[in-house]
Amino acid sequence: MANGSLDAHLYRTNDNGPLLRKKILDICIGAARGLQHLHVGVEQGIIHRDIKPVNILLDKNWVAKLSDFTFCKLIPNDDASEAILDSGICGTPGYMAPEYIMHGTLSKKAVVYSFGVVLLVVLCSKKLHFHGHKATLVHWFKSSVKNGTIDQVIDPYLIGNVRIALA
């Protein structure tokens, strides 16, 4: 793709910071729309199983394109098929939902969790690191919310420019 992957643009600290952050927000919205289409816009739902910044590609107009469908699964697109058991757990550690890792329960919600981790990576402008099987960024963020120190975790370009609702 002409502009590479989202991953290639997340951690840059240059003079175009605020403009780049606006583009990245638009890219995230586009990726979310792509996931929604995979979940409900096709005859059979498609579960991606490996959503992460490197798998969100950017065309010449900076439009997000989901890539790497190596591990995708088809599930019926009805209310009765909320989740399926997956004996061959696939994906990237840290981005996978805990219930998927522990029980093999694959659902659209598990993909939404993965996308939430992508959004957390974008919000913090930090790569996901691991300590054992735990993603330290996720735990660091949770502890920052609990301790009221979230301003120390998020991207400095975003402080004062976005409103964060923590429920």
Structure tokens at 118: 């992508």
Query: How is domain 7-152 classified at the architecture level of CATH?
Result: Orthogonal Bundle (1.10)
Q: Answer yes or no: pTM beyond 0.75.
A: yes
At 35 the pLDDT is 92
pLDDT at site 114: 92
Low-confidence ranges of the chain (pLDDT < 70): 12-19, 77-82, 85, 87, 129-135, 160-167
Domain ranges of the chain: 7-152
- 31 contact partners, CB below 8 Å, separation of at least 6: 6, 51, 56, 64, 66, 115, 118
Instruction: Single out the residue of 44, 49, 29 nearest to residue 81, CA to CA.
Output: 44
Positions marked catalytic? 50
